[in-house]
Chain A
Amino acid sequence: MPVATPTDILEQRSRRDVRHERLFRWLLKGCALIVLAALLGAAGATLWGGRDAFATFGWHFLVSSSWDPGNDVYGALVPVYGTIVTSFIALLIAVPISFGIALYLSEVAPTWLRTPVASAIELLAGIPSIIYGMWGLFVFAPFFANHIKPWLTNNLGNKPDDGKLSWVAEHVPFVGKLFGSDYPFGASILVAGIVLAIMVIPFISSVMREVFQTVPTRLKESAYALGSSTWEVSWDIVLPYTRSAVIGGIFLGLGRALGETMAVTFVLGNAMQLSASLLDPGTSIASTIANQFSEASGLQKSSLMALAFLLFVVTFIVLLIARLMLRRLASKEGR
């Protein structure tokens, strides 16, 4: 029985360390691969669940506007239209406001005011989406129906209460159709777009603010030294320098808006109809799934899964573009 020499012990110990090290590495890598598995799994599960719908309807699924559980015929057009239009309205409202907020917080506001205001806006991002939904349903939609909608239908729409068309509705194409509605409630595509806008403002504005702060001070100071005004510096120096990241931030907001469920479900009215009017109720992919999935079976369930797959693929692409755009600025900085 040989006595263990110090070198033996050392060797044993280093062998043990190597073993532990390898085990630890595998454990860590396995955990990281779960992230990958979650993404692939979500895509695969919805594709697999929607296989019946894709097989039955083929490409027709994408362009058909019928959603008829009675005859078991389903098409994605109405929810896809609702999702795209509400997200588009949300961006139309949120992008200028977010730009204003980011500009104010990075260039205009007195220094002592910046942090508290920025934290308050970020607080808006932390509020759960169901709270936005409730606020939209019980507070904003009635407010909209009583105060904003009558003005819109009477002054812009093609179905005014008194029957007299306004100048705009008569002469500007499409506007009359967009704002014409005889539906009495507030819940509509436009309200859903506005609620979504409020939800994505904090995301877009905080990205914009962050990237505006990365603009080198000497660049801005050079412009100021040449006599530029604050606006000129922001529009001609800061914005071009950060363009790709700003677009990335906007796409990030778009990704959020496309996939949002709760805030939209409450205020969209949930009507399976294709209407040109923004004041009519509609539906979106996420809210269709939320409303129908529990009671669906067979081909309807499969169609809902297929909708989820479409939603996942579209948001994935949008978010991919967002992250790539955001990375371009980071690589410019040598990070």
Chain B
Amino acid sequence: MNTLYLRRRITNALAMTLSMLATLVGLAFLAWILWETLRQGISALDLKLFTKITAYGEDGGLANAMVGSLVINFIGIAIATPIGVLAGTWLAEYANRTKLGESIRFLNDILLSAPSIVMGLFVYTIIVLPSTALTHGSTTFSGFAGGVALALIALPVIVRTTDEMLRLVPSTLREAALSLGVPQWKLTLQILIRAARSGIITGVLLALARISGETAPLLFTAFGNNYMAINPIEKMSSLPQIIYQYANDPGDAMHALAWAGAFVITMFVLLLSLGSRLILSRTKVSHD
């Protein structure tokens, strides 16, 4: 009896220690990755990053890649936000508990983790190939195609958060509006979406954080460009694509530039997720 008791206590102590160790391992890798990105990124920070373009190679900066990233991300979010919010609204307000609604909600969750490189090839097939054929090769890869690829990745994030946030809105609000004779579309647009506004904005910010580091779908859509491009029908460079290109380059100076780009992206993503958290916590307080 006593040995059994002892054995159980030892097993328990062992399991607890291991679980703590597992957490420490997870945190250690987080710290290691962030530390290296900060260390190497900050030491490579320089004003020329923001003023010079990548055409200068080692002596250049990342200005065109940053502008390209901004343009492509903007296109992605601009396409995904209205579609995502409306689709999420349909799931929460019109198709909740219908068969089609449930299946789309389910498939949206799958799209959420679908391989991004396949999305890139999809957009390559539906935009890059036709535009090449229609313009006889003068427009091939484009920033717009990159934006569409990113929109496909941002879309499920926005759909899901909108859907979840709308379902959190108390039904008394709906009943009150409907009893005053407000048509449902007006109720949805002017009351429900407003009530869930901060949650929806959080979703959009999360989607932006998700797409701003995406590389794989941009390789065959926006392709890359060593010169400044603002017009989205041109080939366009982006930070992740430049990081990919420079990290595979043998030169140390290129690696430093890649780290600087990695630092900029990481900071951007971390600030975005921090910001979206702040928005959510602020609304929680106001509701309580």
Q: Which A residues contact B (CB, under 8 angstroms)?
A: 17, 20-21, 24-25, 27-29, 31-36, 38-39, 41-42, 45-46, 48-49, 96-101, 103-105, 107-109, 117, 119-121, 123-124, 126-135, 137-139, 198, 201-202, 205, 229-232, 234-235, 252, 255-256, 258-262, 266, 286, 289-290, 293-294, 305, 308, 311-312, 315-316, 319-320, 323
Do residues B111 and A39 form an inter-chain contact, with CB atoms below 8 A? yes
Bound: A323/B102 CA distance, A: 12
CB closest chain-A residue, reference B93: A28
Bound: A103/B22 CA distance, A: 10
- Could you say which of A27, A121, A323 contacts B27, with CB atoms under 8 Å apart? A121
A35 and B262 contact, Cβ closer than 8 Å, known pairs A123-B30, A132-B33, A286-B117: no
Q: How far is the CB of B167 from chain A (nearest CB, A)?
A: 11
Chain A at the B interface: SS class: helix
A-binding segment of B42-50, B59-67, B196-204, B266-274: B266-274
Do residues A27 and B86 form an inter-chain contact, with CB atoms below 8 A? yes
Bound: A270/B84 CA distance, A: 37
Bound: A323/B110 CA distance, A: 8
**26 pairs of residues in contact across A and B, judged by CB atoms under 8 Å:** A21-B185, A28-B89, A31-B82, A32-B87, A35-B87, A38-B155, A39-B114, A46-B122, A49-B121, A49-B125, A107-B19, A108-B19, A121-B30, A129-B213, A130-B215, A130-B244, A131-B37, A138-B247, A229-B12, A259-B114, A261-B116, A261-B216, A266-B248, A290-B216, A294-B223, A311-B115
CB closest chain-B residue, reference A304: B121
| Contacts between chains A and B (CB distance < 8 A), count | 254
Do residues A21 and B183 form an inter-chain contact, with CB atoms below 8 A? yes
Do residues B106 and A45 form an inter-chain contact, with CB atoms below 8 A? no
Bound: A25/B101 CA distance, A: 13
Residues from chain B with a CB closer than 8 A to the CB of A256 are 113
The residues in B between 223 and 269 inclusive whose CB is less than 8 angstroms from any CB of A are 223, 240, 243-244, 247-248, 255, 258-259, 262, 265-266, 269
Q: Which B residues contact A (CB, under 8 angstroms)?
A: 8-9, 11-12, 15-16, 18-23, 25-27, 29-30, 32-34, 36-37, 40, 82-84, 86-87, 89-91, 94-95, 101, 104, 106-111, 113-119, 121-122, 125-126, 152, 155-156, 159, 183-185, 188, 209, 212-216, 219-220, 223, 240, 243-244, 247-248, 255, 258-259, 262, 265-266, 269-270, 273, 277
